[in-house]
């Protein structure tokens, strides 16, 4: 069974491609916890604690879209997630959240050193791009 990984700040519903991107969406004092979600696409009739709607596209294409405009969101109820996925249409897919785990700061720093990204200021500016 194919699985996908997404990351989020625990108190926020928006999903990110990697832990560094999650941190860059804006961590405040009360939001220090980054979670990794293991997702099962098209979950069938399984019972999951949460559900997510994510884009079924290559990661490099998704990465070019600002986090807040992607529309990848986690839900607590399957009915809400399924309704959202139908409303968004293709290329969005419903996923069950198989498991979650807390990503510690050392893992985030290690990921950041292995995958150097764009300049932080440029990424923050992209979040406010209204052309799409």
For the entire predicted model, the pTM comes to 0.79
Q: What is the mean pLDDT of residues 45-51?
A: 88
pLDDT tens for each residue of 70-127: 999 999 999 999 999 999 988 999 999 999 999 888 887 787 777 665 555 556 666 6
Report DSSP letters for 28-59, one per residue. -TT---EEEEEEEES-TT---S-EEEEE-S-H
Q: How many residues does the chain have?
A: 132
Say what the pLDDT of residue 20 is.
Answer: 84
Share of the chain above pLDDT 90, in %: 46
Q: Given pLDDT bands bounded at 50, 70 and 90, which one contains residue 27?
A: low
* Residue whose token pair is 């198989």: 98
């Amino acid at each position: 069974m194919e699985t996908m990984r997404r990351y989020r700040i625990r108190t926020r519903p928006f999903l990110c491609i990697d832990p560094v991107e999650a941190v860059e969406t804006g961590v405040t004092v009360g939001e220090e916890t980054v979670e990794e979600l293991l997702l099962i696409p098209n979950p069938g009739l399984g019972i999951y604690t949460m559900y997510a709607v994510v884009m079924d596209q290559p990661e490099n294409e998704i990465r070019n879209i600002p986090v807040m405009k992607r529309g990848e969101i986690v839900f607590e109820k399957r009915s809400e997630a399924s309704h959202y996925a139908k409303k968004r249409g293709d290329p969005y897919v419903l996923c069950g959240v198989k498991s979650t785990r807390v990503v510690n700061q050392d893992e985030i720093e290690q990921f950041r050193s292995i995958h150097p990204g764009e300049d932080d200021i440029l990424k923050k500016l992209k979040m406010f791009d209204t052309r799409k």
